[in-house]
A and B are shown apart, each in its own frame.
Chain A
Amino acid sequence: MKSLGYGSNNNNKKKRILLVDDETDVNYTFAIVLQDNGFIVDTFDSPTLALNDFKAGLYELVLLDIKMPEMDGFKLYEQMRKVDNEFKVCFLTASEMFYEEYRQAHYSTIHEHYPIIQKPIKNEELIKEINEILAHK
C-alpha cells in the first residue's frame, strides 16, 4: 500500500495502534488513513471486546472515543492501564463541550494532561497529531 505521505512514518518497524470507537464508519475511515501512513491498526467498535483482547506491550498508541456504550473511553483507559503502563493514549470526541467537566466528575484519578482529538478532523491533521503524540517522550 502506498503511503499518502502526510509526515510519513520513517521508522523501519511499523508502529501498532489500537483504535476503539463505537462508530464503525469512523473506525473504518481512521483505520485506512492510518494504515496508508504506515501504521498497523487494530480496530474495535466494542470497548468490552477491546479490553478482552488487550495485551500488555502490544500497542504504541491507543485511540479511544470518549462516548461509547457499555463503557466510556475514560473507564476503558483506566482498565487498560491496569494491564499496560507503557502505551500512549489519545481520546477522540465529536461532542466537545463537557468532556472535561465529565472527566473531573467521574475520573479524578485521570489527572495527567491527556491529548484529545476533536472529530471531524482532516486526514493530514490526524496524522500530524498522532506523530506528535508518538514523538512526545
Chain B
Amino acid sequence: MNYTRPPLAITIDPIRGAFVDTKKRGIKLRYLTEITKDNISFCKELVSLVDELRHLDGIKGNFMVSESEYLAPIILFEKGKIASQIIYSNQKEIVDQHQYMFDSLWNKAISAQQRVKEIEEDIPEEEQHYQTRFLENANEVSEEIKKIIDTSDDDNWSICSTFDGLLMISRNEDFEKMQERLADSSRRGKITRWIGTINKDNVHLVKAYIDLGMKIRHINNMPPMNFAVSSKDLCITIDEMKGGQIAKNLLISNELPYIRHYNSIFQDLWNKSVPAEQKIKEIEEGVILGKTEVIQSPKDIQQLFINMVKSAKHEVLLVLPTINAFYRKERIGIMQLLKQVAEGEHKVNARILTPTNDAIEQRLQNIASGSEQMDSQREEREQKHQMKNKKKSFDIRRIDVQSTSEDDGTALAVAAEKSAVTTVSIVIVDKKESLVIEKVDDSKQDFIDAVGIATYSSSKPTVLSYVSIFENLWRQSELYQQLKESNKQLELAYEQLKKHDKIQKEFINIAAHELRTPIQPILGLTQVIYSKIDGDRSPHERQKQKEMLEVVTRNAYRLQHLSEDILDVTRIESQNLNLKLERLNLDEIISNAINDAKRSHHLKNVRLSYQRDKDNTVFVQADKGRLNQVLSNLISNAIKFTKEGFIIITPKKQEKENKVMVSVKDSGIGIHPEILPRLFQKFATKSYQGTGLGLYISKSIVEAHGGEMWAENNSDGKGSTFYFTLPFIKEKKME
C-alpha cells in the first residue's frame, strides 16, 4: 500500500473490521507501506491489527494478495478515499506472480519499529534505512556505482582498490561524470583518496587522476578486497576488475559500524603507504622497489646467490657460519667469483667473515694474495697494516669458533662471536640486496643438499640491518684479531724474559765459579804450609810465619764471604733465589745457630742465650741453609756491636696470624739513627768491616719465605732488637 492507505485502514470501519475479522480467523496478515510523518499515528495503530508491518521507501500503487486471490485498487493516490474500481484475479499465475512480487518487496523492507524510531527521533534522512545489500550482476553494479557517483558529490571518498578499479571508471562511459565531479569537487575542497599498488603499467593513469585532484598513495601489499568508503556509504568488491571491466559483484552498505570500520582500515593503510609522487619517481628513475621473499628451492637459492655476487658493483659482504659452509660456497665457485668481481672493472670491495682452519687459511691466503697481485714482501707489510684499517679490495677475517681457550679475554670474544653468528649464511650486495641462507644439514658437502630456505630482500631497512650486523661482526673480529696479536706479543715478551732469565742464571753460575775457584788454592795451600812450618827455625820466627799465614787465611775467608754475599744479591735481584723448602723444627735451627756462633766467636763479656718456649714446638716450611744464614747473620751482627751484656733470642708463636716471630735482642750500641731508615738496603753500614749486604740478603730471604723483617732500638736506650716472622705449619694439618 502506498502512504495514503494506512489512515483508511484505521478510520474506515469496514476495512478495519475486515482486518480484525481476518485476524480472528487466524490468517497471517503482512502489511507493507511507506511510513511517513503524516501517517505515522495510523501506522502505529495498524501494528496491533496486523501480524507484521514493514516500511519501504516510495511505494507506488496498492495491491493485496492471498494464497488464491489478487486484488488491486485502481485509484492509487486519492487520499482518504476507497477506490471505486479494482482489479481482481484468482488466476494462479497472476496470484503467484504477485505473491513473488510481494515477497521481494517485503525482503527489502525495514521493520515498522525501526522506521517509527527514525521518524520520532528525527534521524536525518541520510542516516535512515541502514542496510547492507549484495549485488551480483554487472549491470546492477554499474547502476549502483552511477547512482553513488550522482548522489555523493558532497562527500569525501576513500578508495582502496587495484588501479584496475580506476581504469574501470575511466573506461566506462557511464562514469564520465566521475571525472568532471572529481575535478569539480576538489575545487570545492572535497577530497578523494585512493590507495593502490602503483607499477609502471598504471603510472600514467595514476598521474592523470592526480592531475584531476585525487590524492593517491602506494602500498605494496593490497588487502584481498577492494573497497570505497565515504561517511555514508561503503562499497566492497572482491572482483579484480581486470582490465577495467565492471565489477561483477558489489557489497553496498550504509550501516555506520561498517562504514566506521572501513574508514579506519583505510586510514591505517593510508598511514602505511607512500605518496604516489615518491613511488612514481622511483619507477620513472628506474629504482627497483624493495621486496622481501622466501625462496624454498635450493637450486633457485644457489642461482640467486651467484647472480647477486655477479651483479655487485661496489661491495659484497659475506658471513659464513661454519667451516663446512666455507667449503660449500667455495665448491659452487663463490670464492673464485668474489675474486673476479674484486679484480673486475668495478673493483668490488669483497669482505668475508668466516671460521677458518689451517687449510682454509692457506686457500684464503692464495685467493687474497692473487687478487692483490703483489710480491710476498709487500703482502707481508700489507698484512701488518691490516690492523690499521688499510683498505683492501678483498679482505677476510676469521671468526674463531674454538670452544676452549685458557685466556679469559679470548674466551669472551669467542663467546660473543659464537652467539652472534648462528647457523645462517648472509650475503649482502651493494647495501641493496640481502640473501640469508639457512642450512639444514651442515655435514653435507653439496650446497644444494645442505641448504634449507633462504630469505631474499631488497627492502632498504632489512638490508641495512644486515649491513650493520655485518659491520659489527667485522669490528668485533678485528678486536679479536688485535687481542690475539697482543697475546702473541705477550708470549714473545715472555719468551724473551725467559731467555733473559737463562742468561742471568748463566751469569750467576759463571760468577760463582770464577769467584770461588781462586779461593780454593789460597785457603788450601795456606793451611798446608801452616802445618809444615819448618821446625828448625826459632820459635819466634815460627810464630811470625804463623801470624802471616793467619792473615792470609782470614782475608781469604773474607773474600769468600764477600763472594757469597755478592752472589746472593745477584740471585735476589734476578729473582733466582731458589729455596729448597722442607719441614724444619725451628728450635733445632736456632740452637744450632747459637752453638755455631759460640764456637766461632770468643764471647767473653756477652751472654748469648736462647729463651725457648718448651711447650710450643714450632715447625716451619723453610730452606735450612738459608734460614741458618739469616739467624747467623743476625747473631753475628749482634755480637759485633755488643761489647758486653746480653744477646737473647726468643721465638714467639702468633696463633692468629699463623706466624712465628723470632727476635734477636742485644744490649749493644744500638742502630745509628742515620742508618735506621735504610738499614735493610744494600751497603747500609757504619762499620768499617762487613759488606753491608748481610741484612739486605737476610730480609730478602725472609720475604721469600713469606715473612717480614724489621728492627728497632730498645726502648730503654740500650741496644737494639731485630725481628723476623715466618709462617708456621699448623700441626693439625700435618696429622
Q: Could you tell me which A residues sit within 8 Å of B by CB distance?
A: 2, 4, 23, 25-26, 28-30, 32-33, 36, 67, 93-98, 119-123
- Quick check: A97 and B517 within 8 Å, CB to CB? no
The 4 closest A-B pairs by CB, nearest first: A29-B524, A95-B513, A94-B516, A25-B521
Q: Besides A26-B521, A94-B513, 15 other CB < 8 A contacts?
A: A23-B520, A25-B518, A26-B517, A29-B521, A32-B524, A36-B528, A93-B513, A94-B517, A95-B510, A95-B516, A97-B508, A97-B512, A97-B576, A97-B578, A120-B519
**A120 CA to B508 CA in the complex, in Å?**
16
- Quick check: B520 and A123 within 8 Å, CB to CB? no
- Quick check: B524 and A33 within 8 Å, CB to CB? yes
- Quick check: B520 and A67 within 8 Å, CB to CB? no
- Quick check: B509 and A119 within 8 Å, CB to CB? no
- Shortest beta-carbon distance from A98 to chain B in Å: 6
- Shortest beta-carbon distance from A100 to chain B in Å: 10
What residues on A are CB-neighbors of B514 within 8 Å? Answer: 94
- Quick check: B520 and A32 within 8 Å, CB to CB? no
- Shortest beta-carbon distance from B599 to chain A in Å: 14
- Quick check: A23 and B517 within 8 Å, CB to CB? yes
Closest to B528 in A: A32
The verdict on B505 contacting chain A, using a C-beta distance below 8 Å, is yes
- Shortest beta-carbon distance from B701 to chain A in Å: 15
- Quick check: B520 and A33 within 8 Å, CB to CB? no
**A121 CA to B522 CA in the complex, in Å?**
11
Pick from A26, A33, A121: contact of B528, CB below 8 A: A33
**A2 CA to B535 CA in the complex, in Å?**
13
- Chain A CB within 10 Å — which of B512, B520, B523 has the most? B520
What residues on A are CB-neighbors of B512 within 8 Å? Answer: 94-97
- Quick check: B524 and A123 within 8 Å, CB to CB? yes
Closest to B578 in A: A97
- Quick check: B509 and A97 within 8 Å, CB to CB? yes
From known contacts A95-B510, A95-B512, infer whether A26 and B525 are also in contact, taking CB-CB under 8 Å.
no
* A-contact 0/1 string along B518-549, CB 8 Å cutoff: 11110111011001100000000000000000
Pick from B510, B532, B560: contact of A120, CB below 8 A: B560
From known contacts A32-B528, A36-B528, infer whether A121 and B520 are also in contact, taking CB-CB under 8 Å.
yes
Pick from A30, A93, A96, A98: contact of B524, CB below 8 A: A30
- Quick check: A119 and B516 within 8 Å, CB to CB? yes
**A96 CA to B571 CA in the complex, in Å?**
13
Pick from B516, B525, B560: contact of A29, CB below 8 A: B525
What residues on A are CB-neighbors of B560 within 8 Å? Answer: 120
- Chain A CB within 10 Å — which of B510, B514, B517 has the most? B517
**A12 CA to B523 CA in the complex, in Å?**
30
**A96 CA to B520 CA in the complex, in Å?**
15
From known contacts A4-B531, A97-B578, infer whether A26 and B520 are also in contact, taking CB-CB under 8 Å.
yes
- Shortest beta-carbon distance from A21 to chain B in Å: 9
**A73 CA to B457 CA in the complex, in Å?**
79
**A52 CA to B479 CA in the complex, in Å?**
65
Q: Could you tell me which B residues sit within 8 Å of A by CB distance?
A: 505, 508-510, 512-514, 516-521, 523-525, 527-528, 531-532, 560, 571, 576, 578
- Quick check: B505 and A98 within 8 Å, CB to CB? yes
**A94 CA to B512 CA in the complex, in Å?**
6
- Quick check: B505 and A97 within 8 Å, CB to CB? yes
What residues on B are CB-neighbors of A23 within 8 Å? Answer: 517, 520
What residues on B are CB-neighbors of A26 within 8 Å? Answer: 517, 520-521
- Shortest beta-carbon distance from A116 to chain B in Å: 14
- Quick check: B523 and A122 within 8 Å, CB to CB? yes
- Quick check: B523 and A119 within 8 Å, CB to CB? no
- Quick check: B525 and A32 within 8 Å, CB to CB? yes
**A30 CA to B528 CA in the complex, in Å?**
10
- Quick check: A123 and B509 within 8 Å, CB to CB? no
Closest to B509 in A: A95
What residues on B are CB-neighbors of A121 within 8 Å? Answer: 520
**A23 CA to B522 CA in the complex, in Å?**
13
- Shortest beta-carbon distance from A14 to chain B in Å: 19
What residues on A are CB-neighbors of B528 within 8 Å? Answer: 4, 29, 32-33, 36, 123
Closest to A122 in B: B523
What residues on B are CB-neighbors of A32 within 8 Å? Answer: 524-525, 528
- Quick check: A29 and B509 within 8 Å, CB to CB? no
Closest to B560 in A: A120
**A93 CA to B517 CA in the complex, in Å?**
9
- Shortest beta-carbon distance from B256 to chain A in Å: 100
What residues on B are CB-neighbors of A33 within 8 Å? Answer: 524, 528
Closest to B524 in A: A29
- Shortest beta-carbon distance from A42 to chain B in Å: 18
- Shortest beta-carbon distance from A101 to chain B in Å: 9
- Quick check: B513 and A29 within 8 Å, CB to CB? no
**A96 CA to B509 CA in the complex, in Å?**
7
Closest to B505 in A: A98
**A97 CA to B525 CA in the complex, in Å?**
26
Interface CB pairs A-B, < 8 A, 27? A4-B531, A23-B517, A23-B520, A25-B518, A25-B520, A25-B521, A26-B517, A26-B520, A29-B524, A30-B520, A30-B524, A67-B513, A94-B512, A95-B513, A97-B509, A97-B578, A98-B505, A119-B516, A119-B517, A119-B520, A120-B517, A120-B524, A122-B523, A122-B527, A123-B523, A123-B527, A123-B528
From known contacts A25-B521, A97-B509, infer whether A120 and B527 are also in contact, taking CB-CB under 8 Å.
no
Closest to B571 in A: A97
What residues on A are CB-neighbors of B509 within 8 Å? Answer: 95, 97-98
**A28 CA to B517 CA in the complex, in Å?**
13
What residues on B are CB-neighbors of A94 within 8 Å? Answer: 512-514, 516-517, 520
- Shortest beta-carbon distance from A25 to chain B in Å: 4
- Shortest beta-carbon distance from A7 to chain B in Å: 14
- Shortest beta-carbon distance from A49 to chain B in Å: 20
**A2 CA to B528 CA in the complex, in Å?**
11
- Shortest beta-carbon distance from B376 to chain A in Å: 39
Closest to A33 in B: B524
- Shortest beta-carbon distance from B569 to chain A in Å: 14
**A119 CA to B531 CA in the complex, in Å?**
21
What residues on B are CB-neighbors of A122 within 8 Å? Answer: 523, 527
**A11 CA to B524 CA in the complex, in Å?**
25
Closest to A67 in B: B513
What residues on A are CB-neighbors of B518 within 8 Å? Answer: 25
- Shortest beta-carbon distance from B183 to chain A in Å: 104
- Shortest beta-carbon distance from A124 to chain B in Å: 8
**A28 CA to B525 CA in the complex, in Å?**
9
What residues on A are CB-neighbors of B521 within 8 Å? Answer: 25-26, 28-29
What residues on A are CB-neighbors of B523 within 8 Å? Answer: 120, 122-123
Closest to B520 in A: A120
**A95 CA to B523 CA in the complex, in Å?**
18
- Shortest beta-carbon distance from A91 to chain B in Å: 14
- Chain B CB within 10 Å — which of A26, A94, A120, A122 has the most? A120
- Shortest beta-carbon distance from A8 to chain B in Å: 13
Closest to A92 in B: B520
- Shortest beta-carbon distance from A118 to chain B in Å: 8
What residues on B are CB-neighbors of A95 within 8 Å? Answer: 509-510, 512-513, 516
Closest to B519 in A: A120
What residues on B are CB-neighbors of A93 within 8 Å? Answer: 513
**A97 CA to B508 CA in the complex, in Å?**
8
- Shortest beta-carbon distance from B704 to chain A in Å: 15
Closest to B514 in A: A94
